[in-house]
A and B are shown apart, each in its own frame.
Chain A
Amino acid sequence: MDKANVSETEERTFQARIDAEEKIEPKDWMPEKYRRNLIRQISQHAHSEVIGEQPEGNWITRAPSLERKAILMAKVQDEAGHGLYLYAAAETLGVTREELIDRLHTGASKYASIFNYPSLTWADIGAIGWLVDSAAIVNQVSLQNTSYGPYARAMVRICKEESFHQRQGYNIMMTLMKGAKLQREMAQDALDRWWWPSLMMFGPHDGESAHSAQSMKWKIKRRSNDDLRQQFVDQAVQQAEAIGLVVPDPDLKWNDARGHYDFGAIDWQEFERVISGNGPCNRQRLAHHKNAHDEGAWVREAMAAHEAKQRSKARDVA
């Protein structure tokens, strides 16, 4: 058999394993495109967790009570942990964290566009936890069955922590809606600003999504963007109504025949603008990350130097 035939057979076996819902593990054969596609998706996911520390972390030092402060700290800390699980999952595919961070800094690798919006008031912390974490949960629950083993297992761990994030966010919104007029206005304003970016988190419509069809076939993705978005809308609308918030979409209405909410058109120009680097905080988010990374260089070097010294000491003793 010549080379082309070998890889064709391998690809067929590979697809058969995927179709049989078998998990692909790091040492297994996989098509190069599958590997690259996964690295792109997992690292984008990891970067999102890490960049996401910023808009929420902004309010740790300003949280309105000690209890809220402690909860928010634990929440943001979880997100950093998620970043860690995901970098580790990506590393099983033969890239290093350092390479991935480098790609983030050069703009070659993206992160969730929603974190390019500012968190202007305390209500934004409520809106982020409620909406952004809800959207993340909807997406991540579907990825618990993704075909790549380490990614699927990272999702299982992450999902366990996400429901606490969503609840703390919704609880902040609920408390505001039970409060003074200015607090209710603050909550509504936050929803007005975060609603549409949250819908955009699920990415382009199925027809326009560059990576969707192949990712579905390989079961890297398990459900389509539009499908996930609809589930999110159906949940969030009811949660908004339950506490007296108005979803900022005049076209929103229940469709009995579909058994879902119909909702208005997403402003894809806005989506493109932010994802291509021109949202309100793109530059600051990247600069902040790069700055912390650069300032930490001497610490990482010191650690490596110390380890090397310890190793050579151990060798001398032996």
Chain B
Amino acid sequence: MTPDDPIARYALRLGDDALIMGHRLSEWMSRAPFLEEDIALSNVALDFIGRARLFYQYAAQRVGGDTTEDTFAYSRDVRDFTNLLLCELPRGDFAFTICRQFLYDAFALPFTEALSGSSDPQLAAIGSKAVKESRYHLRRSKDWMLRLGDGTEESHQRCQRALDDLWLYTAEMFQSDPLLDDLIARGIAVDTPALHEAWLATVSETLATATLSVPDTDVEVVGGRDGIHTDDLGFLLAELQFMQRAYPGLQW
């Protein structure tokens, strides 16, 4: 199920990030702290599902045959998924969801900006569409960081705890590997290791304003890009893929 074509594999990674992130966000529907947030969270979730579809469609086009976007979402198992671990962690409380989103959005904005300059025209097109969304996502998650970090004692503590729990998973965003190195060299993939410094600056600045501290740890937990996930992804896929697994081969 993992294609040989490196560009398709790269598109799948990005599609997996978006699908799994979108799934976690969509779990908030009808569970947000107030009605406006039901709407705002599902807006962001919809952006990610939309993005996943574009990446998967492109991968399907490169793979050919009767592969579709849904083949990738519904017919692969945990070991085939190559999303960042950060995206799959259970949604936790609202502070956890917001902190995850902020750490990711601060990465996604420079990432999509760079992707829109990819030498692969289709990746570039997806990138330029996503930039606008990511700009809004980051503005929104920054606002929330300020409110929660510099809100009440409780919200501050919840936020700091979430950041401490999440921090170990952020290194994976900037990790390099042979597939990435090859595609970076060809001007196709985004040079993610090079984004780390700018990301850290954005994050540190916002956390400081929000009276939160940058977690003091060197621990890095990685594995997603190799299909080594947390236990949670299996349960997520069991739910996501239920219909296609229970009733294979049908049109819905």
Are A and B a genuine interacting pair, yes or no?
yes
Count how many pairs of residues, one from A and one from B, have CB atoms less than 8 Å apart in the complex. Answer: 137
- The residue in chain B whose Cβ has the minimal distance to the Cβ of A53 is B30
Min Cβ gap A225→B in Å is: 28
Separation of A304 and B250 alpha carbons in the complex (Å): 50
Task: Name B38's closest neighbour in chain A (CB-CB).
Answer: A80
CB <8 Å contact, B30 and A306: no
Interface bits B221-252 vs A (CB < 8 Å: 1, else 0): 00000000000000000011011100100111
Interface residues of B in 41-57 (CB under 8 A from A): 42-43, 45-46, 49-50, 52-53, 56
Most B C-beta atoms less than 10 A away, residue of A64, A84, A299: A299
Q: Does A251 contact B (CB under 8 A)?
A: no
Q: Are B240 and A62 in contact (CB under 8 A)?
A: yes
Interface contact A57-B152, CB-CB below 8 Å: no
**Is A70's CB under 8 angstroms from B49's CB?**
yes
Q: Which of A48-77 contact B (CB under 8 A)?
A: 50, 53-54, 57, 60-70, 73-74, 76-77
CB <8 Å contact, B250 and A183: yes
Distance (whole angstroms) from the CB of B94 to the closest CB of chain A: 5
Bitwise interface map of B from 140 to 156 toward A, beta carbon under 8 Å scored 1, else 0? 00000011101110110
Chain A residues 12-66 with CB under 8 Å of chain B are 50, 53-54, 57, 60-66
Tell me if B65 is interfacial: C-beta within 8 Å of chain A: no
- Interchain CB contact (< 8 A) of B252 among A65, A76, A292: A65
A77 to B26, CA, bound (A): 10
Docked CA distance A309–B146 (Å)? 11
Report the minimal beta-carbon distance from A98 to chain B, rounded to whole angstroms: 10
A303–B252 touching, CB < 8 Å: no
A180 and B35 CA atoms in complex are apart in Å by 39
User: Contact between A303 and B151 (Cβ–Cβ < 8 Å)?
Assistant: yes
How distant is the Cα of A77 from the Cα of B50 in the complex, in angstroms?
A: 15
For window 2-42 of chain B, which residues contact chain A by CB distance below 8 Å?
19, 23, 26-27, 29-39, 42
Q: Given A64-B243, A301-B154, are A73 and B36 also a contact pair (CB < 8 Å)?
A: no
Beta-carbon contact of A61 and B43 below 8 Å: no
Contact of B32 among A172, A183, A296, A303 (CB under 8 A): A296
Chain A residues within CB distance 8 Å of chain B: 50, 53-54, 57, 60-70, 73-74, 76-77, 80-81, 83-84, 87, 122, 172, 175-176, 178-180, 182-183, 288-289, 292-293, 295-303, 305-306, 309
9 closest Cβ pairs, A-B complex: A296-B33, A302-B151, A302-B155, A64-B252, A64-B243, A299-B33, A53-B30, A306-B147, A57-B29
